[in-house]
Amino acid sequence: MSKVYVFDHPLIQHKVALLRDKKTTTKDFRQLVTEIATLMTYEATRELPTKEVEIETPLERTMVKMLDGEDIAIVPILRAGLGFVDGMLSLIPNAKVGFVGLFRDPTTHLPVPYYCKLPEDIGKRQVFIVDPMLATGGSAVEAINEVKKNGAKNIKFMCLIAAPDGIEAIEKAHPDVDIYIAAKDRQLNDHAYILPGLGDAGDRIYGTK
């Protein structure tokens, strides 16, 4: 069964509150997404394996633990997921980055795939699939399908805001995938938008509306 982690850290909650405010500008919205992604990455990587490395301090040789950065892949769901990438790379600069392109059909709310480019060795990596919004869960489930089809075995899904429907959809289709969220919201509206939510994440990050 998927484990669901809700990050209730005050810094994250404060920044999510600013994101939700309709008066927040595109520039500030983008900056906040980067900051929250960085804070969430700090928490979500808590259990990553480390490797022992020998180094020399100014006083003596010693064994230290270092992150095995080559083992990580970040996979944003285009386009809004791109907002996570800079913040995550600032903490894990050696991670590889893949892309899954999906948009939601406005009538059926089902995901329409249009692009997929993943690191060749994704099967050996801890994969973080990232997208600000988990609404019906259709996009996340499809992205996980695609990444698994390409050989990935260790997958985590990270988002800002999740609706109960989206969490259930991942738990049902991919019980091996843990879910990291900044806020769990109440419900979806008739257009499958999250309430209270923050609106259309892609439009708010890129200023397209």
- Could you list the active site residues? 104, 108, 200, 203
103 binds, among ligand URA, ligand PRP, none (CB under 5 to 8 A by kind): ligand PRP
- Closest residue by Cα to residue 118 from 104, 131, 129: 129
Is residue 182 near ligand URA by the rule CB under 6 A? no
Largest CA distance in the chain: 66
Tokens coding 84: 């996570």
138 contacts ligand PRP (rule: CB under 6 A): yes
Size of the site for ligand URA (CB under 6 A): 8
Q: Which of 122, 133, 140, 141 binds ligand URA (CB under 6 A)?
A: 133
The residues, ordered by sequence, that sit 6+ positions from 208 with a Cβ below 8 Å of its Cβ are 202
166 binds ligand URA (CB under 6 A): no
- Cβ at position 161, least distance to ligand URA in Å: 7
Residues 6+ apart with CB under 8 A from 110: 104, 138
Closest to ligand URA by CB, 73 vs 135, is 135
- Which residue among 19, 40, 44, 80 contacts ligand PRP (CB under 6 A)? 80
The answer to whether the beta carbons of residues 178 and 187 sit under 8 Å apart is: no
